[in-house]
Structure 1
Amino acid sequence: MYYKIIKIVFCCLIFTGSIEAQVIQKAGDSPFAVNRSAVFELESKTKGFLPPRMTSIQRDAIVSPASGLTIFNVTSNALEVNEGSELSPIWSSVRMYLPLAGGVMTGDIKGVTLTLNNDAGSNSTILGSGSTTGAIILGGTGSQSISIGADAGLKTLILGSLTGTSSTDIQSGSGGLKLNPAANGVVLIGNSSGTGSITLGSSTNSQIVNIGAGTGSSTVNLATASGTNLVNIGGSLGASATSIHSGSGGLVLDPGSLGGVVIGNVSGEGTISLGSSTGSQIINLGTGTGASTVNIATGSTVANSITLGGTKSLVSVGEAPLESSAAFSVNSTKKGVLPPRMTTTERDAIVSPAEGLIVYNKSTKLLEVNTGTPAVPIWSAANSSISYPGISNRLTADYTVTKDDSTILFNASAGDLTVTLPAASTLKGKIFCVRKDEGSSNLLTISPALMLSGSLTTVALNYARTIKVQSNGSYWVVIN
């Protein structure tokens, strides 16, 4: 009976407003235990408060809804409050104000401080776990600082999904995107399983990708962990161009103790140029203070073509400066030059030897030069001590010519004489001049037979005349 009286009085207060609000302040349990700080109080341990329930269409039909007006929206299943004015209502979900602990939150966050997972347990906070398409925005148009996992402790932050065709796009304004580790921290891009591809600068437009471009002293490590690493810089398709610059400290390609630096590809495609600038450059190979071994084109089992310098270049080997008058100079006061060493058989197997080609003949123990042509090589011995054979005295007896002779004069006025030439096979390229140096009719016979106009002919001089012969390795050929 008393409870009904309270309800009647409560209704009168609402509709008439003529009785002071303090007459009744409470409905529900313990009606005499009144909280004096409340204008109106509800108390129950078995029932809740049921606000007006309506759809979004019905809510929007409310005429001049007061600021703070509260309803339950059955369309969105959310308790909503008008945060705007009567003329411009803004209906916001009340649940955005609720502190969560391991829960799932949806809706808008506007101008509030929201703490997610602030209890001591192991919590999971998910933003955007729905199956529909939506947008999650952190940070507005003003200057803001958004911290995710900023306090102490080990945290795992996952942006995007590893399954399906999930795509994660992180964008930044003119201020740039910074991945800023702590003093002892590391920024790791990629997973431990090694799956997937990591691409920096994948736009179809022109981009500048800077790594370690700050003014401080940076150390940029690419694939430095153990294992077989493959690092690609630049593309091999289209008109891709890769430029690697270095400051005054230089560019160092530093292999491990058992490693090697390889420039080029296994297929042999493309051209490798060192020092291709149009300006003057210094290219150093093996100029360190240690004992260096510089190998050039040593890996192939076929013929390699190596070109040093151009038609106007000065190429120098050794310790002394370049010689301006020499296209190629070898400078040393401690060591000599070792030419190719081979036998006569190996020398004769050279295909089209160039005129002036030099070899050391191990069969004859001589340094030899091709004084002929590539088609008809003539290997002439180059003595270690330079000497110029002179003209012999006028001989009056038979004579066997030696390799040291050059021009031999004979006086056959007292009787016939015979001059015997050495074997042509032993002095290929050698030239002798034999002259009957008087006008008698006595014979000066040259042995063996000479090759004259393609035929072997025994030559005997009975008047003053000079015969010039040269060895082709098989015969002595009359050349004058």
Structure 2
Amino acid sequence: MKTIVIFLFCLISFSILQAQVKIGGAATNPHASAILELDGGTTRGLLMPRMTTANMNAIASPAEGLMIYNTTDKATYIRTNNAWVKVGSGSGFALPYDGQVNAPNIPAFSVWNIGNAGTGIFGKTSVGSNGGAGVHGDATILGSYGIKGTGLDGIGGYFSSTNKYSLVTNKGNVGFGTLTPTNAFVEVNALNTNATTMMLLDENPTIQLSNSGGNSGVINKGFLQVSNHDLKIGTNFENSLGQFIIRTGGVDRVFVWSNGYTRIPGNVGILSRVGIGTDSAKAKLEINALNTSDPVLVLNDESPTIFFQNAGVDKGFVQVAGNDLKIGNPFSNSDGKFIIRTGGTDRVFVDNNGNVAIGSSQVANGYRLSINGRVIAEEMRIQNSTAWPDYVFKSDYHLLSLAETKAFISRNNRLPGIPAAAEIEKEGIPVGKMQTLMMEKIEELTLHLIKAQEQIEHLQKEVQKLSTNK
């Protein structure tokens, strides 16, 4: 019996070495493309060598194409490119699938969809409360990609989410239009085209700028948003201490506080109209205090000044110098007058020499003040530089006799020393001089009265003597 078994084994071995072999099933030749065909019908299959992962890794110099069944993770493995590659499990393709390919430049996993439409790899996660990934790519080698998508006429990469984020990156830079984003976490390169570099499409598209608040979580600091037809940029409500700052040339230029206070340290040039307290300015600058008691404009400086220019030349100014308020024309406007207007009419004129005209645009020649109209005053003091007529009472004063005065009046129709009527009508009355002349005539009259009184008293004495001698 032992001899027969050895003979049959040798016969079978010889047949296997020399020709195709079919085991099981109907007595037919094996398929022409197979050197070995196994036919177990519907109740039997091929039982692979079974071993643990440790046993599999301990096989000395395993041949390429060697297959075993791994009892540790319940999957079939095949030796490919000097590495064990998981082929599948009892349910088909193993899920979860976890394997390694140690051969360089060979994809660890490759799926092709060669139809007109479809999906090469579809990943979906629907179980789990805190996390998960439909497709997870992990690249630990410099220059490699976790997930890479390319497209010819289609879309290289597409991300969509109904309620949460469509694309989240944990660390590293994200590049659009560049393979080497080094300048920022997100770098967008339009490749020197005229196309839009980045577009946000939403009902109210917003870019939110936030930072970590430690235990408080994320704190919104600033934003850029289109709301209806308006473009908004600034700080968030949570950032009550932050300022909105505009910077140019590396220097902060404009500061806007959370209370709306705005500070501009540099120069400001505005070519159009500016409205403060109004959105419909009717002048280059219109300030509307909105019927409040607040000051409309405050200038705070050592000598606050407002200049008025024409063609770049200072023509007028308003200034507080110390405790004084100055208003008028600067040195650069030497020919200009300072004019006060009321009711649409020019009323007061001050020329470049300081002469003042009221009711007339011209000052009478030789005078500091000209008034065209009547003047009423409770008191007027004239500082006369000429001698006051007390000289009349000096002994060397020549007092005209009444006869001489009468003769002068008969010839000239005026008192001696008093201007003629024609002269006064033409030149006016010099009040100071006239007061002096009037006082001179009063003093002369007083002297004549004193002399007349002396004569009266002398005559009274003479009359009394005559009466006594009778």
Bigger RCO (CA 8 Å, 6+ sep) = 1
More strand by share: 2
Greater C-alpha radius of gyration: 2
Q: TM class by shorter-chain length?
A: 0.3 to 0.5
> TM-score by structure 1 length?
0.46
More helix by share: 2
> TM-score by structure 2 length?
0.47
